[in-house]
Amino acid sequence: MEENKEDKIIATRLIVKIPSYLTHHQKSEITITAIDSKGRIDRIRNDEIEITMESIYEKIEDTKVKLDTNHVRLVNGVAKIGVSSHQSEFVKITASCKDKKTKIKPYTVLMATGGYPFHK
């Protein structure tokens, strides 16, 4: 007789959820989550996560999009960081596990801020 066992959830990648819209001088949150291949949250993950940001149009030191921190720790598989914008911009945000031995795949997302059209 086969037992009905729930699959063990083991994170294989990170996912980054960004605000759908971020206007000038607005603050919001980015959520980083460790998920398995079925999209379920791995609630045992408490890894340290590195967040990098690359401006598409500006030099990164000139960017007006700011993250509260570049490092955060997952708590029960989830972490949140603040993000703010002071002009229209397009940035690439990547979240990755600091400990590369975890083999959890990083995740990159593009985020538009400040409205359209983007000005240079």
How does residue 39 score in pLDDT terms, banded at 50, 70 and 90? very high
Enter the pTM of the model.
0.86
Domains of the chain, by residue range, sit at 13-113
DSSP E strands in 36-106: the ranges are 48-55, 65-67, 71-73, 78-85, 89-97
Q: Which of 13-22, 71-80, 81-90, 111-120 has the lowest mean pLDDT?
A: 111-120
Q: Which residues contact 75 (CB under 8 A, 6 or more apart)?
A: 46
Sign of the torsion angle spanned by Cα atoms 78, 27, 91, 59: negative
DSSP code, position 86: S
- The answer to whether residue 62 scores a pLDDT higher than 60 is yes
| Type of residue numbered 28 | S
Q: Which fold has domain 13-113?
A: Immunoglobulin-like (2.60.40)
Q: Which residues contact 27 (CB under 8 A, 6 or more apart)?
A: 82, 83, 84
